[in-house]
Structures are given as structure tokens and as C-alpha cells.
Chains A and B, each alone.
Chain A
Amino acid sequence: MSFLEVKNLEVSFNLRGKSLKALQNISFDLERGERLGIVGESGAGKSVAAFAILNLISRPGKITAGEVLLDGQDLSKLSPQEMRKIRGNKVSMIFQDPMMTLNPVFTIGTQMIECLKAHRKISKSNAVKIAIQKLKLVQIPSPEMRMNQYPHELSGGMKQRIIIAIALLMDPALIIADEPTTALDVTIQAEIMALLLDLCESNNVALILITHDLGVVSQVTQKTIVMYAGRIIEQGPTNEIINDAQHPYTQGLINALPQQTLPGEKLNQIRGSMPSLQDIPSGCSFNPRCDFVLDICTKQRPEFTQSGGCSVACHMVKAMKDAEKGHSAYE
């Protein structure tokens, strides 16, 4: 049994009486100390997936199917109180929007100390010590002074580092980081990634890293999941996905990187945009934007095909695999 097992997770939002599926058929597992990346365009459902794992989906959303087993315990069945205990100790989440963790009317120090005291029996001076130590870890200079400041007095990147520090306060066994370094410059991003990496390796912490920066994914994670319109469309070892993407959507993401075009030229954007939950196309949900679209793509949803170490949900890839097989059988 793996440390974290997510099985067939499904989340729906109830909007204006209609039920919209934001997440369908999400399954993966994660060992202790393992690092997983989740990538995909805005609106793919990455954050919803993270929220669902932590049983944090709030109205009008709901987990409608599936289970999330952490050490064999199904998180999706726990009460909010039990969940709060787990969230504080075993699992930490770094939210995409820093202001979801930070309260604008309290100082950084107050918030960190409150957080420590809520989960542990600890004296105030000890709490202060731990808080300062964590702030140093995330490269906040003069942490003693910063403790007295309010969130709006810090730069965007500092806020982001502070919530990373808060997530590290409790020495969790699983960290879910939703775009943790989007507001950081590359040198500090490199430091923070090194910090997370070190933490994972030396303390055997598992990491789920949600990001749109494929560069970061390629440097930090071992496994990658690519999501589109609420589903996993490709999943496998990171280096295979980055160097040899099979799914047309993954290829599109990689080609859109500015590194892939000459300076001053137009970037290769994937044409069109992510469908909204109301009108997800039938068949393969990527078909209106895909360059390789086949007849079957608009009619039937592709199943996962094994290609190398990756599972890919694409008719085109399946057809190519089949052709290859047929070819080799013929020889």
C-alpha cells in the first residue's frame, strides 16, 4: 500500500441548479519521499484536485465519488475537525493565493505563533524561535523585524515565502504546494526548490507540486501528471514526459515555452482555450484545439494507452502504438 492513494476521485460543483463535474477519474499514488508534479493550463482543475485531496472542497462543490487514502485512512470521509488535525500535522498545503493563508489584519508573527500554538503545546518564546528559524529557511532577511509586519507591507514574493514557512512549521509528511514559486525570481526559486527537495530527501517527505512551470517540474519531481478539463490526460516519469511528450496537449504546453521560440518572435500558443465546465466537448475534450484530431476523437473518449513508462489518453497515440505493434508483428 502506498503512502497516498487517490482512487477515481470526482468533484462536482452545483451551480444554478446544474451539477458540473470539475474533476473526474483522478487516480494516482505516491510513496513517502516521492515527488509528484501536476501541470496543466489554468482551469484544468489542478487546484480543485489539491483541495479535494485535503477534503477542503466547500459549497457549492462536493466530492461525489472516489477515495483518498493517506496511510490507509480515507480522508474524504473525515469530519472537518478530524481533518483539521490531519492538515495541521501530517499534511501541509501551500495555497496558490497567499491571502488565503494570511489574514490582512494580523502581523506575520502573530499568525505564525497562533498556528504553532493551535497544534502544539508550546511556550510563546519557543514558538517565536521556531517561527524565526523557518523564516530564515525560506530566505527572508531580518526575520525578527518581518514578524512585526502586516502582509500588505511585504513584497509579493515575500508573502509567498511566508506561507511556505507556515506550511513547514509543523514538519508534515506530505506537502501539497499549489504554485509555490510563481511570484519568485529564479535565484530564490532555485533556493526554495532546493530546500523542498532537501526536505523531501532527508526527512522522507512526499511532495505534490502544482505548477505551470515545466522547468521547475523537470528539476524537482520524479513523476508528472498532466491535466486537462478535469481529467488526467498523461501520466508518467517526469523525464519521459518532458523529453518525449506523447499527448498533443503536453506537446503544446512544452512548445509554448518562450525558450522554444527566437527572441522577438510570436510565441507558439495553443490555439483556442480551455473549455469551461459547462461545455466540455464530447469525445476527447481536447479535440477542438488538437492538430491531430481523428474522426473517432469527437465521438469516443480515449482510454489510457501505455507508451513507454507513460499512460496517455489519446486516440492518435493509441493508433500509432497499434501500428507499431502490427508492424513488428509483421516482421
Chain B
Amino acid sequence: MSNNQQSVVTDKNNGVEESILQVRNLHKRFDISRGFLDSLQLKGGKISRKREYVHAINGVNLEVYKGEALCVVGESGCGKSTVARTIMGLLKPSEGEISFKGQRIDNLSNSQMLPFRRKMQMIFQNPYASLNPRKTITETLEEPVKFHNPRFSAAQVKDKVAEVMLSVGVDPNWGVRFPHEFSGGQRQRISIARALTVEPEFIVADEPISALDVSIQAQVLNLMMDTQQERNLTYLFITHDLAVVEHFGTRVAVMYLGTVCELAATKTLFSTPKHPYTQALMSAIPRLDAKNTAHIKLTGEVPTPINLPSGCVFHGRCPHANERCKIQIPALIVQNDGSQVACHAIEENRL
């Protein structure tokens, strides 16, 4: 039901926009049963195999518009990275569809996927692990250019790499060095350069700045904003730093336990957070000034993706939960200001 609704609705603040990526009803389960013998159990006189799953994503619908920066925020372990990795084809979805510019990409083989690899790239969280320690910077950057442009001459490859390096503020003469000779911020620039070598249209960035200190965060964020304008890039930007979201995001999707609970334009979200979880999240931002810890403290048992709660996944910790919340899964519903919220209390005007 909510699927159809979503694909028709476009962002009201911006009028009709061209969508570049669509995620429909995405589910991802990880089998975590250990060993064949351990998982056997006796049930009703019969031996059956009990399987345990982590329900990492449970029905996520997202649409990314061309030229925007869609930020994804949410609790640690709520499935943000899993969404990113499934979109990039690093994981196969258990259910659901992913389309890039109208073409389904989640069921493609490695070779069929190849043309899309040039258009979609990913920047990883950990600058210390995302560059191959045994390759020089030039080798790291030249490999994708050569691989995707087999006809390029050596000089063309070099030019391309030098151009990309300059555009991210990396001195081409550094190319002979190895990653461990660079600081975290420089490495993250190199990772961005690597993503840019194939001239993508869409970049998924999984917490690209959380391992960096503030001043370098600022450099990398500024760089990402510059390249967005210069190359007309679209970002799916995963982060847990709400200050960065406010600064960088066009729209924000808030996730909780594998579902999107609120999706709104950045301004709307920050001025009027609606979902109870979003409200708790907003109140927990550490502020410089206030020594106050007057944030909304989430009480109750932390829900687990291994035994997914029934109904609204947030009901165990929600101050506004009622009986309906325990039974029925709330759907994303469009509000007057264009935001979408999945909450019964909002729908029932209790909140």
C-alpha cells in the first residue's frame, strides 16, 4: 500500500523532480544460525531445524532525486549501512526491488552490473581501511580508470587521474606514496577521488566523515559540496551527526530498526520533528553551551532485530504507544508540510 503511494508522491517543496534511484519494499535478513547440529531442535515430537535471523531491513521505501543530498540518520545498528550495501550490490536483498533510473539492478549478475558501476559509487566510513595498504595512491586511482576504459592510452589514464586528484585537492606528486603516509582526512580525499575517477552520477557515502576530526570534517564536507555542484552529483549520505545533516542534507530519512520512520525536507525536520524517535534524537544532540542533559531519555528495553517486535518497532520505548501500536505496523503517511511520518499517534492526531 505504502509502496504505490510513495512512488507517486514527489517532494512537495521542490515540485516534480527526476528520480534517480528507487528502493521499494526492501527487506534484508541475515541468517545467523550456527552449525547444523546446534540448530536442530525437538518440536512437537518432530526434529526441525530452527533458524535465527537478524532482520536488518524491514520494508524500506526510498526515492532519491537527481541533484539532491538525501541524508539517512538513525540509531546504531538500525540498518543504514545494510541499505547502502544492498543498493551498491554488495549484498543481495531478501525481498524488494532497487532500480536505478527506472532499471532494476538488484537481480543483475556481476557483468550485467558493470555499466551501473560507473554511474554509482560508494565512499566508505573508515579511511584507514578503505584504501589498499599495498598499493600506491596512483595505482589505486589508475586501476579503475584502466578497467573501465580499456581503450585509454597510458597518457590518457594519467591525465584523468591527475585531473581527479587536482579536483579533490590532492597533489598529483603524492601519487607515489602509500596510504599509511597520509592523515585520515587526506585518505578520505583520496577515497573520494577514487569514486570520482569513473565519473559517477550518484554516490553513496557511508559515514564518510565520522572518523575525522572537526576541522578535517569541515574540509571533506566542503569538498563534497563543491564536487556536488561541479559535477551535478546526487548523494545518499549516511551519518549520525545531525549537525552535519542540517548543514548538508536536502532531505532526511530517519531510520529505526530497519524501517524508515520519518522522511522530510531538512528544514522541516529540524524545525518540526514529528515522529517520537526523531524527537528523542533531536534532543540528544550534544550542545557546546548547555551542560544540560535534558534530552528525552529513551526508556524500556532496546528492541532487537533478532526478535523483531510486532506492530510499530518503536513501541517498546515510545511514550505515546497504545494498543494499536503493538499490533499494526504504521505506514509512511504524507503530512501537510510534505513530510512523511510512520506513526499511529500522528495519524490519530494524538501528537
Contacts and interface: CB of A to CB of B under 8 A. Distances in A.
B288 A259 contact: yes
Closest 10 CB pairs of A and B: A157-B76, A215-B286, A212-B213, A141-B304, A185-B240, A267-B218, A269-B218, A142-B304, A258-B243, A186-B284
Given A155-B77, A267-B222, 17 more contacts: A141-B306, A183-B210, A185-B240, A186-B284, A187-B280, A189-B284, A214-B214, A253-B215, A257-B288, A258-B217, A258-B243, A258-B246, A258-B247, A263-B247, A264-B247, A265-B247, A273-B183
B225 interface: yes
A256 interface: yes
Nearest to A252: B215
A254 B211 CA distance: 18
Contacts of B185: 42, 273
B286 A42 contact: no
5 contacts: A141-B302, A141-B304, A156-B76, A183-B240, A215-B287
Contacts of A320: none
Interface of B: 30, 32, 34, 52, 54, 73-77, 81-82, 125-126, 128-129, 183-186, 207, 210-219, 221-222, 225, 240-244, 246-247, 266-267, 280-281, 284-289, 291, 293, 295, 298, 301-307
Given A155-B77, A274-B183, A218 B306 contact: no
Contacts of A97: 128
A45 interface: no
A327 B315 CA distance: 64
A265 B221 CA distance: 11
Contacts of A59: none
Nearest to B226: A266
A184 interface: yes
A148 B306 CA distance: 13
Nearest to B216: A42
A267 B81 contact: no
A170 interface: no
Interface residues of A, number: 61
A261 B221 CA distance: 13
A42 B32 contact: no
Main secondary structure of the interface of A (DSSP, over half): loop
Given A42-B212, A183-B207, A219 B218 contact: no
A253 B266 CA distance: 25
Given A254-B288, A256-B215, A153 B30 contact: yes
Contact of B52 (A99, A145, A242): A145
Interface of A: 40-43, 97, 99, 139-142, 145, 148-149, 153-158, 160-161, 179, 182-191, 194, 212-216, 218-219, 239, 242-243, 252-254, 256-259, 261, 263-270, 273-274
A187 B281 contact: yes
B295 A190 contact: yes
Given A141-B302, A266-B225, A185 B75 contact: yes
Contacts of A141: 77, 301-306
B212 A158 contact: no
A207 to B, nearest CB: 16
Contacts of B210: 182-183
A98 B222 CA distance: 28
Contacts of A99: 129
A213 B286 contact: yes
